[in-house]
Chain A
Amino acid sequence: MVAEVSLTAVMVVFGMSVVTFATKAGGFWAIDRIEPGQSTRDALDALPGGIIVSILTIRLLEGGPAEWVAGIVVVLVARSTENVLIALIAGMGTLVLVRWGRTGF
């Protein structure tokens, strides 16, 4: 608990920060150096959706029925309001209500 900071630990943290920045900056660095053709631009357009779909697939799978119900509410509210914040609040509210309902609060 004392303020004794291990030099090795700090060096490892430094190493972690270097490789992390390499990944955050490296993709843009590489693509900035080539003039991408039409198919590369198409691929880059599809990339964000593909990444988000992949993240969501596993997150929803690991969640339970309460998350799925709340997720449907998020999608419906986002579609009708086109507002991320309102959709977020509606989803969180639904999740809390469903969880309370299930635990018999």
Chain B
Amino acid sequence: MSREDADTVTVTVQDGDEESVPGDGEELRFSRSGAVSGFVSCVPVALGVGGYGLIFGVLAREAGLSVVTAVLMSATVLAGAAQLIAVGLWEWPIPAVAVIGTTFVVNLRYLLMGASLRQWFTRLSSRQAYVSLFFMADENWALTIEDLREGTGRGAFLLGSGLAIWIFWVLATAIGAVAGGRIANPETYGLGFVLTAIFLALLVGFWDGRTSLAPWAFAVVVALTVETIFPGRWYILAGGIAACLVEVIQDGR
């Protein structure tokens, strides 16, 4: 892990470290060059994540977290929405059950995202798969699915792209926490739109002709309905499951 980290900048395309995994269909490799590709592809996205990191750092300090605690949280939890909600709940004494419970609920969507990596990640070793999954966030998960669906066989793409997000997220948290309210609102520079734009661009690639229409339309309706009724991020889970159900019914015909 730390070796990967240190060497990401200097590796060449072919290094003797690569490990081929035989599998059904295309070959999947867990290589440093794959991790580097993931890292580089994710840098523009990670800049947007860094914008959120600044906001998180500022809010964490205002909520009474020390700089060390805020940075520790970003480095070990690595889940933007859950962390922002957690510092919103933060007070003294810390409502531990509420904070940890809310974190779990807000992050339930990761269960589905992880499951969707099945066809590729079953061909990695457990250590490769689970270390990569630690670095999974909304943004790099979407980029990784897109990359793997193209058949590039880059098994380390999630890890590399996740490291890019991790570095920007942790550094930005530290800067935000230390500088506090002296930072201008990052939203001014349109950073809040980065995630929307990335997801829209990726969705164009996910469009599978008319068979995508019914699952996506149903996901929109369910997401809107659930978002109106329940607070938090249940709508992501509900919309994802809704699309699955329609797809299964559609294919079963």
Contact = CB atoms under 8 A, between A and B. Distances in A.
A22 B18 CA distance: 29
A50 interface: yes
Contacts, number: 268
B27 interface: no
A17 B79 CA distance: 9
Given A47-B243, A78-B205, A92 B198 contact: no
Given A24-B110, A27-B111, A74-B197, A8 B76 contact: no
Nearest to B193: A95
A15 B122 contact: no
Would you call the interface of chain A mostly helix, strand, loop, or mixed?
helix
A12 B97 CA distance: 9
Interface string B4-45: 000000000000000000000000000000000000010010
Contact of B215 (A10, A46, A77): A46
B223 A24 contact: no
Interface string B179-214: 000000000011001111111111111101000100
Interface residues of B, number: 89
Given A17-B77, A24-B133, A92 B194 contact: yes
Would you call the interface of chain B mostly helix, strand, loop, or mixed?
helix
Most chain B CB atoms below 10 A, which of A13, A92, A96: A13
A54 B196 contact: no
Q: Which range holds the interface residue count of chain A? A: 35 or more
Contact of A92 (B93, B115, B190): B190
Top 9 nearest A-B pairs (CB, nearest first) are: A50-B243, A54-B239, A46-B247, A27-B114, A27-B111, A43-B244, A27-B115, A54-B223, A17-B76
Given A16-B83, A24-B134, A71-B196, 14 more contacts: A5-B66, A8-B96, A12-B100, A25-B130, A30-B115, A42-B247, A42-B248, A51-B243, A57-B224, A57-B239, A60-B196, A74-B197, A79-B204, A87-B197
